[in-house]
């Protein structure tokens, strides 16, 4: 009953309609921007090839007129280098219309890199190259020549949301919907009425928290699913659900050290990766909703709650890389609170200084769930204390 009341209150508010418009608008803008950038990239490549070919002709003319042997060699080296660049760019253009060739070439490349890493004893590179080769090789066996990001479809849209886009949208919506969910009760004087209700004070806060989580989740994930379906229908890309994606490999953690496992690597397909993406978003929504409600309980003004929470997010983002170089491994856990780049949770190609995060998917989930519990319990205590004061 109480939860239903809170949800209805949110749905009937102007903030919800503003949040709905913002979510749809941001997703439309994102799709337009990525699609436009892809088209620009193709055109710029064509222009670059034409410009480079013009440079080659000019150098060839200079080469014919030049009599100095040293300058001739210099011109010849420049011509060979520019020809190599053109060949590389033309291959990229060919791959755009020939995905089979691209996948086969990439598979050969990673197999070669794997053999080199094996000889050099570089186990980190060995594992990464092995995983990528296995993924591509499995896709070739299935005759599914698909590469995420080669075309802008539903899979690319959804998985690319993990690179900061989903985090930004979640933050905006949580601030808009959750910043005043408790503080408005203080400002409007309805907090006094709440104590007359025959329910536990903790249930009031819990219902507000759940209502915020459900609303933000419905807006973020619901609209993502709609865009995902529409884009895949337009591009006929649902058939690639079982194509393997290079987001995860298997690693063994001992303390805070990470050791690659050469055998039994777990490969994930596009459907599994997409579900993992949505799961991570839900965990993030829980943590952020709990945090914003905590600040909303402290301040009577929703704007102050928003500013305080936003300041915390900025501080974590600024000091995230500095936290990662701390000598005490336990302090590095702070960098996993509110992971703005969701892909860092399960990628297999992170920078060396944070390599222990390779297998941190469960650590990230556990830490953010712990933070959620702490924020919600703290909000309950503060609300009970303020009620006594009122």
In-domain check, residue 18: yes
Does any domain span residue 67? Answer: no
Q: End-to-end distance of the chain based on CA atoms, in angstroms?
A: 25
Tokens of 300: 């009577």
Q: In sequence order, which ranges of the chain are alpha helices (DSSP H)?
A: 2-12, 14-65, 69-97, 99-120, 123-141, 154-160, 165-178, 183-187, 191-194, 201-235, 270-298, 302-324, 361-389
Determine how many CB atoms are found less than 10 A away from the CB of residue 200.
12
Please write down the HEC assignment for all residues of 246-284.
Answer: CCCCCEEEECCEEEECCCCCCCEEHHHHHHHHHHHHHHH
pLDDT, one tens digit per residue, over 351-387 is: 343 344 444 567 778 888 999 999 999 988 888 776 5
Sign (positive or negative) of CA dihedral 280, 286, 291, 296:
positive
In a domain, 100, yes or no: no
Angle between helices 99-120 and 123-141 (to 10 degrees): 150
Is 108 part of a structural domain of the chain?
no
- How far is Cα 380 from Cα 353, in angstroms, rounded to an integer? 39
Q: Assess if residue 28 is contained within a domain.
A: yes
Residue from 49, 26, 30, 27 nearest 38 by CA:
30
Q: Give the predicted TM-score (pTM) of the model.
A: 0.78
**pLDDT (tens place) for every residue of the chain, 390 residues total:** 678 888 888 888 888 899 999 999 999 999 988 888 766 666 777 788 888 888 888 888 888 888 888 888 888 888 888 887 887 777 666 666 678 888 888 888 888 888 888 888 776 677 777 878 888 888 999 888 887 777 889 999 998 888 788 888 998 898 888 887 777 666 655 555 555 665 677 788 888 899 999 999 999 999 999 999 999 999 999 999 999 886 655 555 444 455 555 566 677 888 988 888 888 899 999 999 999 888 888 887 777 888 888 888 888 777 766 666 666 666 666 777 787 777 666 554 433 433 444 445 677 788 889 999 999 999 888 887 765 555
As a dihedral over the C-alpha atoms of residue 162, residue 165, residue 170, residue 171, rounded to 10 degrees, the angle is 120
Give the bridge partners for 260, in sequence order.
Answer: 251
The CA-atom distances, in angstroms, between 42 and each of 35, 91, 99, 101, 154 are 11, 12, 16, 18, 21
User: Does residue 113 lie in a domain region?
Assistant: no
Residue 242 covered by a domain:
yes
Is 290 part of any domain?
Answer: yes
Q: What per-residue confidence (pLDDT) applies to 109?
A: 84
User: Could you tell me which of 204, 238, 178 has the C-alpha nearest to residue 13?
Assistant: 178
187, exposed or middle or buried, with CB in 10 Å at 0-12, 13-18, 19+?
Answer: middle
Domain range for 379 is: 2-36+152-389
For the record, the structure tokens of 186 come out as: 């203080």
Query: How far apart, in whole angstroms, are the C-alpha atoms of residue 368 and residue 333?
Result: 10
* Dihedral sign of CA atoms 146, 152, 154, 159 in order: positive
- How far apart are alpha carbons 280 and 346 in whole angstroms? 10
**Number of domain units in the chain:** 1
Q: How far apart are CA 284 and CA 345, in angstroms?
A: 12
Torsion sign, CA atoms 24, 25, 29, 30: negative
Distance CA 47, CA 156 (A): 26
- Give the per-residue pLDDT at 224: 95
Dihedral of the alpha carbons of 376, 382, 385, 387, in degrees to the nearest 10: -80
């Amino acid at each position: 009953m109480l939860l239903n009341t809170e949800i209805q209150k949110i749905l009937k508010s102007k903030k919800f309609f503003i949040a709905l418009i913002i979510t749809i608008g941001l997703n439309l803008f994102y799709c337009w921007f990525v699609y436009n950038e892809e088209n620009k990239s193709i055109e710029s490549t064509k222009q670059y090839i034409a410009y480079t070919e013009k440079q080659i002709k000019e150098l060839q003319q200079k080469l014919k007129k030049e009599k100095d042997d040293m300058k001739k060699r210099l011109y010849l080296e420049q011509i060979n280098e520019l020809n190599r660049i053109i060949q590389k760019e033309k291959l990229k253009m060919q791959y755009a219309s020939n995905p089979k060739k691209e996948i086969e070439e990439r598979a050969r490349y990673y197999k070669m890199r794997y053999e080199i890493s094996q000889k050099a004893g570089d186990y980190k590179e060995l594992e990464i190259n092995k995983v990528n080769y296995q993924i591509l090789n499995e896709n070739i066996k299935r005759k599914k020549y698909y590469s995420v990001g080669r075309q802008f479809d539903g899979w690319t849209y959804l998985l690319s949301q993990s690179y900061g886009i989903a985090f930004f949208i979640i933050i905006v919506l949580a601030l808009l919907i959750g910043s005043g969910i408790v503080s408005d009760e203080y400002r409007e004087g309805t907090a006094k009425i709440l104590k007359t209700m025959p329910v536990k004070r903790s249930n009031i806060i819990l219902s507000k928290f759940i209502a915020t989580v459900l609303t933000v989740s419905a807006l973020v994930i619901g609209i993502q699913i709609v865009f995902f379906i529409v884009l895949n229908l337009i591009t006929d890309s649902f058939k690639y659900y079982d194509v393997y994606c290079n987001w995860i490999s298997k690693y063994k953690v001992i303390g805070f050290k990470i050791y690659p496992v050469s055998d039994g690597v777990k490969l994930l397909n596009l459907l599994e990766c997409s579900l993992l993406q949505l799961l991570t978003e839900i965990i993030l929504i829980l943590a952020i909703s709990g945090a914003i409600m905590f600040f909303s309980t402290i301040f009577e003004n929703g704007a102050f709650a928003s500013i305080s929470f936003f300041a915390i997010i900025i501080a974590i983002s600024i000091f995230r890389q500095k936290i990662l170089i701390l000598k005490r491994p336990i302090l590095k856990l702070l960098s996993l609170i509110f992971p703005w780049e969701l892909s860092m949770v399960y990628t297999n190609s992170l920078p060396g200084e944070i390599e222990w995060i390779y297998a941190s998917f469960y650590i990230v989930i556990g830490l953010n769930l712990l933070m959620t519990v702490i924020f919600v319990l703290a909000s309950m205590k503060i609300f009970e204390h303020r009620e006594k004061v009122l």
